Amino acid sequence: MYGYMGQILRVNLSTGELKEEIPDEQDLRMYLGGAGLATKYLLDEVPKGIDPLGTENKLIFMTGPMTGTMSPSTGRFSVVAKSPLTGFWGQANSGGFWGVHLKRSGYDGIIFEG
C-alpha cells in the first residue's frame, strides 16, 4: 500500500530474537497512521490486567504513511504502550528525524516485547 514500507520489526528483549512481519493491508487501511496502527497492535496483543512494567506489555513505535515525505511536519512517529501511570493505553507522539530514519531503514514500526 502506498506510503508504507510493508514491514514491522519485532524485537523480543527476553530471547534476543528479531523477526520481520508484514502487516495486514486491511489493518493499514482501517487504522490509518502510526498511532492508529500501534493502538490496534496493543489492543490485539496485550491482555487485560497485565502489569504495565511486566514482560507481557509491549512498547510499540510506529510511523504513518506520510512519515519521510516532503510534506511539512510529517517526520513524526507514535509510541504506544499500556501506561504504568494510568494502567490504560498511553501514547506519545514525537517529531524529528528518528521516524524518518526508521522508515528509510525499511520498517513502518518496531514492536519491543518480552
Question: Residue 23: which domain range?
Answer: 8-113
Task: Establish if 102 belongs to a structural domain.
Answer: yes
pTM of the predicted model as reported, rounded to 2 decimal places? 0.92
Task: Establish if 99 belongs to a structural domain.
Answer: yes
Q: What is the CATH number of the domain that holds 73?
A: 3.60.9.10
Task: Establish if 1 belongs to a structural domain.
Answer: no
Check residue 32 and give its pLDDT.
Answer: 84
Task: Establish if 29 belongs to a structural domain.
Answer: yes
**Number of folded domains that form the chain:** 1
The amino acid present at 17, given as its one-letter code, is E
Task: Establish if 70 belongs to a structural domain.
Answer: yes
Question: Is 1 a residue whose pLDDT tops 70?
Answer: no
Task: Establish if 2 belongs to a structural domain.
Answer: no
Q: What is the mean pLDDT of residues 33-61?
A: 96
Task: Establish if 89 belongs to a structural domain.
Answer: yes
Is residue 92 within 8 A of residue 42, CB to CB? The reply is no
Check residue 58 and give its pLDDT.
Answer: 98
Question: Is 2 a residue whose pLDDT tops 80?
Answer: no
Classify the C-alpha dihedral 102-105-107-108 as positive or negative.
Answer: positive
